[in-house]
Structure 1
Amino acid sequence: MSERTPVRGVDVDPDTRCAHYHTDRDVVAFKFACCETYYPCFRCHEEVADHEAVPWPRARFDESSVLCGVCRSEFGVPEYLEGDYRCPSCDAAFNPGCEAHADLYFETDD
């Protein structure tokens, strides 16, 4: 676990909420494979990065690529997907709406 893992984006607060998503449950950030950098959302990546977004590859799902904005724990995609929209370390609630954009964060089988 890293206490201050950097999270890039637009108006990112200490709990990883951003200008685009800022409810009490928007406390998760995702690492993009293209830059090995955490962003609170795909829109932040679009606005801040100077390259196209590449979702986290399936072959690396066991590596840390999800960050809890509350406790700053990092964990892999399976832990996130199987966690019922809660942090596996501190039980903070995550926004279930992120599922609608999962293909932008994680490589899928399409």
Structure 2
Amino acid sequence: MNNKKPIVKGLEVDRETRCAHYHTEVDIIAIKFYCCQEYYACYDCHEELEDHSPEKWPKDKWEQKAILCGSCGKELAIHTYMSASECPHCTHPFNERCSNHFPLYFDMNNK
């Protein structure tokens, strides 16, 4: 069994996936981008390091594990993350303001 935490790309990424853009105690989430299937610490890191435009996760794919808890290293399904205020595995709190950025990562209009 492989318990190795996925690689998280970004600028100045620490061991709990915080980056140069978001680095408070509760900024512990990395997101696998739909377009390249790579984990990034945030949208801005993807913008600065990739040469392609980001694609949003379609709603019919929200059961896929595409969220990484930087505290415990567990991957979460998108729909699980979107309804949680903390990691269901380690109970580390998530930044509740991240929900303001959901439209950057997830297709909120896809029915």
Match of 1:109?
109
SS of residue in 2 equivalent to 1:66: strand
* Residue 87 of structure 1: aligned partner: 87
* C-alpha deviation, 1:106, in angstroms: 1.1
Could you tell me which amino acid in structure 1 is paired with residue 108 of structure 2? T
Aligned partner of 2:95: which letter?
A: N
Unaligned 5+ runs, structure 2: none
CA shift, 1:36, in A, is: 0.3
Normalized against structure 1, the TM-score is what? 0.93
Aligned to 2:69: 68
Asked if 2 retains the 8 angstrom alpha-carbon contact of 1:17 and 1:26, the reply is yes
Deviation at 1:73, TM superposition (A): 0.4
Report the counterpart of residue 45 of structure 2 in structure 1: 44
Deviations 1:16-49 (A, max 9, x none): 0000000000000111110001111100010011
Which letter does structure 2 place at the counterpart of 1:49? E
Identical counterparts, % of pairs: 41
Code of the aligned partner of 1:86: E
Aligned to 1:32: 33
Equivalent in the alignment of 2:97 = 97
Q: Cα RMSD over matched residues? A: 1.3
Which secondary structure state, in structure 1, belongs to the residue aligned with residue 8 of structure 2?
Answer: coil
Runs of 4+ in 1 over 6 A off after TM superposition: none
